[in-house]
Amino acid sequence: MPHDPGATRLLAISPHLDDAVLSFGAGLAQAAQDGANVLVYTVFAGAAQPPYSPAAQRMHTIWGLAPDDDAVLYRRKEDIAALDHLRVAHRHGRFLDSIYRKLPDGRWLTAHVEGRQKLAVNDHSPDSDHDLVGEVADDIRSIIDEFDPTLVVTCAAIGEHPDHEATRDAALFATHEKNVPVRLWEDLPYAVFKSGAVELPQGFRLGSADVSSVKPEMRSQKFQAVERYSSQMVLLNGSENNLFDRLDEHARQNAPHGGYGETTWPVVRSDDS
């Protein structure tokens, strides 16, 4: 069926099964309410098979899953529930999350830090990153050809997570070839704890930040969607450090008129006039 040339078709490219909602959930909900066709494509949502890395086993335990539970399937169901709540469509990619991947030398890409919930990324080859970005970009091109978006939005990769960086770079290369405008969202909750310059691939730079204020009902809808990720709420939320309080405070510090808002940047290509 041909697309309505006047309709907005928003393609959100999320690294993991929660990133789009955490960072840009209110924007997704508002776009859907305004009549846009919204699709969230999650790149690193591929089904992983045991044996799992020690880091993955540790995370599964923290998420409250049994050793024989299919963690990716569980998280996919959470994602579907969250995106259904926002009234947007979903598609799950084939690539493995970093906790399930190995380096060319056989080592696991990520290792868990003893006594803590954090993960450490082992040294890895830039060549392997390049190959991964190319494969992800191929899949994004196929989705662009099918969905024909009028705008793509993805992560800025604040926090330097390898999956976020691969997603961002692949999206930039694919949208450049397809001549689709792209914006980058502020990675939350990473940006609450870490700031700094975002380094884009050669030929791309960030435009001026845009903090879009959202209606209270869109903020509520986003937070309700985030709560659908029950496995991740164990990591993100706590009695002493409430996730939603932190997101509210961060937004108030950035929004020019207070209230809740989400930050994005347009991407400018070096060959643009």
Tokens of 120: 């450490």
Please count the other Cβ atoms lying within 10 Å of the Cβ belonging to residue 7.
11
Packed helices 71-86 and 216-226: angle between N→C axes, nearest 10 degrees: 160
Residues 258 and 59: their CA atoms lie apart, in Å, by 36
User: pTM, whole model, 2 decimals?
Assistant: 0.93
First-last CA distance in the chain: 34
User: What's the token pair of residue 245?
Assistant: 């309080």
34 is in an annotated binding site: no
- Closest C-alpha among 197, 136, 145 to residue 168: 136
**Which tens digits make up the pLDDT trace of 18-37?**
999 999 999 999 999 999 99
129 is in an annotated binding site: yes
> Is residue 112 marked as binding?
no
Q: Is 118 a residue whose pLDDT tops 70? A: no
**Out of 36-45, 175-184, 254-263, least confident range:** 254-263
Per DSSP, the residues of 96-132 read PPGGG-B-TTS-BSEEEPTTSS-EEEPP--HHHHHHH
Which backbone phi and psi does 268 adopt, to 5 degrees? Answer: -105, 130
Say what the pLDDT of residue 251 is.
92
Portion of the chain with pLDDT greater than 70, in percent = 92
CA dihedral sign, ordered 87, 80, 136, 94:
negative
Residue 163 labelled as part of a binding site: yes
Chain segment 50-76, per-residue pLDDT in tens: 999 999 999 999 999 988 899 999 999
3 is in an annotated binding site: no
Q: Which of 85, 96, 112 is nearest to 229 (CA)?
A: 85
Task: For residue 261, give Cα distances in angstroms to 100, 137, 184, 235.
Answer: 34, 30, 15, 23
Tell me what the pLDDT averaged over the chain comes to.
91
**C-alpha distance from residue 112 to each of 10, 27, 120, 131, 190 (Å):** 36, 33, 6, 25, 18
Q: Is 69 marked within a binding site? A: no
Is 124 flagged in the annotation as binding?
yes
> Which domains are delineated in the chain?
9-49+71-97+123-267 (3.40.50.10320)
The radius of gyration of the chain's CA atoms, rounded to the nearest angstrom, is: 18
